[in-house]
Structure 1
Amino acid sequence: MDFALSREHLALQAKARRFADEVLMPYEMECEDNDGLSAASLAAINQQVLSWEFNAINQAREDGGQGMSIFEQMLVDEQLGRITGAIWDTVFRPAYPLRFASQAQKHEYLIPTCLGTRRDAYAITEADAGSDPRQCVTRADRTGNGFRISGEKWFVTVGDVADYILVHAHVDGDADRAAVFFVDKNLPGVVVKRTPKYTHHFAYKHPEFIFDQVEVGEDKLLGRIGDGFELTKDWFVEARLGIAARCVGGATRVLEEANAFAAQRTQFGKSIRDFQAIEFMLADMAVEIMAAKSMLYRLSWDISQESDRKRNHGRAAALKLYCSEMVGRVCDRGVQILGGRGYMREQAVERLWRDTRVDRIWEGTSEIQRIIVGGQIKKRGTGTFTEW
């Protein structure tokens, strides 16, 4: 087998690295110092995303996107993961399920979102429902002209700047009739309850929203009633692959920073990288990244070719589990190698240590990923994970 990247893939990888380092990295300390980016900075980055042609890499060209495969998206995401403060999220892409929108919905929502004039946010989690979406109590009751949505959603990432929200709700309160709805944020009844503070300083916020009898038409239903879980699962697969890729990118930057520091830091008359304790930490970091990257590239390639939704869901869970836990170990060692400097927020290693902790939680905790993998083994045997 030839696992070498093609010339085109190498070029895309190099372009994404330049974009991350030249365009996004200069904004890191603004984001850290101000717990976010100014409107002017966000607008400037938005324009660069368009000019570098990194907008909507997950959507078809005919809808205004770049039409990249899952594997190509992974190559971009890996490089974006080097950047702290989740500034990678300024490289906007509409949620994967939007490709199933009607033509009218595409013109109203998808195409403008691909072109950066609109922004979506996906709302699933609730106070008492997260890992199990069937526990959602947000409901969409039928009316004469459409639906009336009532409920509360937490952790709506990008909800501070999005102008419409994709809301996962149960029609008439029936979990078997889950559906996803387009909800414009300026509609009566859409209220920001609060915007919590978090460990990280991210480019965007994660508000909590109340939907107080929000009226939407039949035309705001994405797909069909009952499609909600499959659409949300598709979103999870894409989101988990993106997390895994960014974890590998973030871990790689931590290793680079820790290695450079260990080479120049002198104690007891020699470079600290010459002490076996430090050398072994660097070696362990490199091996873990190598293993994760091998898994990331292979599975991203396979999922690009695979149409089996359940198998993709299981493998994406395994990948997200491994990469998110790997980056936590790598970041912890990186902080240790830098010592007191590793605890200073001006250091990328410290920021990535904080930023990546959430990767073991959002889009499904590590425990949920293990449940998904275990469920696949029960239903399909071990081959999904071992015979490839």
Structure 2
Amino acid sequence: MNFDLSPREKELSKKGRDFCDQVLLPLEAVTDEHGELPMERREAVRQQVRDWGLAGINHSRENGGLGLTMVEQTAIEEQLGRVTNGLWSCVWRPPVSLKFGTETQKHDYLIPSSHGHRRGAFAITEPEAGSDPRRVKTSARLKNGQWHLTGEKWFVTSYNASDFVIVHAHVDDDPDKPTLFLVDKPVNNMVHLRSPKFMHNFAFDHAELRFEGTTVGEDKMLGKIGQGLELTKDWFVEARLQIASHAVGAATRAAEIANDYATSRHQFDRPIRDFQGVEFMLADMAVEIFAAKSMLYRVAWEIDQGLDRKRVHAHASALKLYCSEAAGRVIDKALQVLGGRGYMRENPVERLYRDIRVDRIWEGTSEIQRVVVAGQIRKRGIGVFSEVAWA
């Protein structure tokens, strides 16, 4: 088996690294200082994404994207993951669910989103509904040719960078009818309650919204009635792979910084890497990255090969679980190697330490990933994970 990236994949990886280093890394300090990327900087960054040829990396050319394979996307995303403060989100990925829209919806939402002229936020989580989407209370009722949405949503990521919201609601309050709706901003009776602060700073906000009978036309339903959870699952697979990619990139940057510091920092007349306590931490970090990266590209390759959908879902859960937790261990060790310097906000490792913690929570907690993995073992046997999964 050939585990080497192709020349094209290596080229995309380098482009992702160069874009991260030249465009995103210089924005880290100002983003951390302001809590998010300042509004006056955003359009320039959007244009740079277009100029670098990174617009719509997760969609087909037909839908305005770049038509990249999953391995090619992963090669870019891994490098973007090196940046702190969630600035990787400046390179937009229109929600995968949009590709299941009507031709009109693709024309109005997906293609402009791929080009960076529109952006959508995703609203599913609620005060009483997180890991269990059947507890969603937001309802959708059809009256006189209009859908009326009522409910409250939390953690609507990138709300203040978006001009429309994809809302997950239950038609007629029926949890067996989860359905997605496209809501343009601004719209009457959609209230922005607040954008709370979190442990990490992020390029854009995470809003809390309330829908008070918000009306949208029948043509704004995305997919069919009852199809919302199925479309969301497809988005989860992509999102989990993206998180794993960023986790590997973040862990790699932290390890590089720690390795350089352990070489240049001298105590007791020798580099601190000469002390076994430090050397062993570097070794453990390298092994964690080696395992995580191998797993990451295997799952990306499996998706490109058309692996069974259920197995892909299971492997994506295992991948997100391992990479997010491994990255946490790597970055924790990197901070320890750096000592007090690693604890300073001006140090990228300190920011990575704050950033990486959410990766064990959003798009499915570590515990939910274990439920998915265990469920697949129960239904299909341990071979789902122990055997080579040829397509």
TM-score, reference length from structure 1: 0.99
* 1:87 aligned residue: 87
Q: What is the CA-CA distance between 1:59 and the residue it aligns to? A: 0.9
Q: What is the CA-CA distance between 1:99 and the residue it aligns to? A: 0.7
Q: What is the CA-CA distance between 1:277 and the residue it aligns to? A: 0.3
SS at the partner of 1:241? helix
Q: Which 5+ residue runs of structure 1 have no aligned equivalent? A: none
Task: Give distance in 2, aligned partners of 1:10 and 1:217.
Answer: 45
* 1:290 aligned residue: 290
Task: Give distance in 2, aligned partners of 1:309 and 1:14.
Answer: 30
Task: Give distance in 1, aligned partners of 2:69 and 2:172.
Answer: 37
**What amino acid is aligned across from residue 210 of structure 2 in structure 1?**
I
**What amino acid is aligned across from residue 29 of structure 2 in structure 1?**
M
SS at the partner of 2:160? coil
SS at the partner of 1:306? coil
Task: Give distance in 2, aligned partners of 1:206 and 1:380.
Answer: 37
Cα deviation, 1:308-353, whole Å, max 9, x if unaligned, reads 3221111100000000000100110011011001110100111000
SS at the partner of 1:78? helix
**What amino acid is aligned across from residue 224 of structure 2 in structure 1?**
R
Q: Superposed, which structure 2 residues align to 1:137-286 within 5 Å?
A: 137-286=137-286
Instruction: Say if 2:9 and 2:71, in contact at 8 Å, map to a contact too.
Output: no
Task: Give distance in 2, aligned partners of 1:305 and 1:219.
Answer: 34
* 2:300 aligned residue: 300
SS at the partner of 2:225? coil
Cα deviation, 1:153-182, whole Å, max 9, x if unaligned, reads 000100122110000111001111111100
**What amino acid is aligned across from residue 50 of structure 2 in structure 1?**
L
Task: Give distance in 2, aligned partners of 1:115 and 1:48.
Answer: 12
Task: Give distance in 1, aligned partners of 2:188 and 2:271.
Answer: 63
Q: CA RMSD in A?
A: 0.9
The sequence identity of aligned pairs, in percent, is: 55
* 2:15 aligned residue: 15
Cα deviation, 1:2-54, whole Å, max 9, x if unaligned, reads 11111111111111111111111111111111111122211111001001111
Matched, 1:118 2:122: no
Q: Which 5+ residue runs of structure 2 have no aligned equivalent? A: none
Task: Give distance in 1, aligned partners of 2:238 and 2:219.
Answer: 25
**What amino acid is aligned across from residue 97 of structure 1 in structure 2?**
S
**What amino acid is aligned across from residue 121 of structure 1 in structure 2?**
A
Q: What is the CA-CA distance between 1:108 and the residue it aligns to? A: 1.2
**What amino acid is aligned across from residue 238 of structure 2 in structure 1?**
E
Task: Give distance in 2, aligned partners of 1:273 and 1:47.
Answer: 43
Task: Give distance in 2, aligned partners of 1:46 and 1:242.
Answer: 20
Cα deviation, 1:203-262, whole Å, max 9, x if unaligned, reads 111010101101111100111011111100011100000000100000000000000111
Q: What is the CA-CA distance between 1:379 and the residue it aligns to? A: 1.3
May I ask how many residue pairs the two structures share in their alignment?
Answer: 388
**What amino acid is aligned across from residue 357 of structure 1 in structure 2?**
R
TM-score, reference length from structure 2: 0.98
Task: Give distance in 2, aligned partners of 1:189 and 1:110.
Answer: 25
* 2:50 aligned residue: 50
* 2:130 aligned residue: 130
* 2:107 aligned residue: 107
Instruction: Say if 2:63 and 2:106, in contact at 8 Å, map to a contact too.
Output: yes
Matched, 1:322 2:322: yes
Matched, 1:385 2:385: yes
* 1:349 aligned residue: 349
SS at the partner of 1:179? strand
**What amino acid is aligned across from residue 300 of structure 1 in structure 2?**
A
Instruction: Say if 2:190 and 2:209, in contact at 8 Å, map to a contact too.
Output: yes
Q: What is the CA-CA distance between 1:301 and the residue it aligns to? A: 0.4
**What amino acid is aligned across from residue 115 of structure 1 in structure 2?**
H
Matched, 1:375 2:381: no
**What amino acid is aligned across from residue 190 of structure 2 in structure 1?**
V
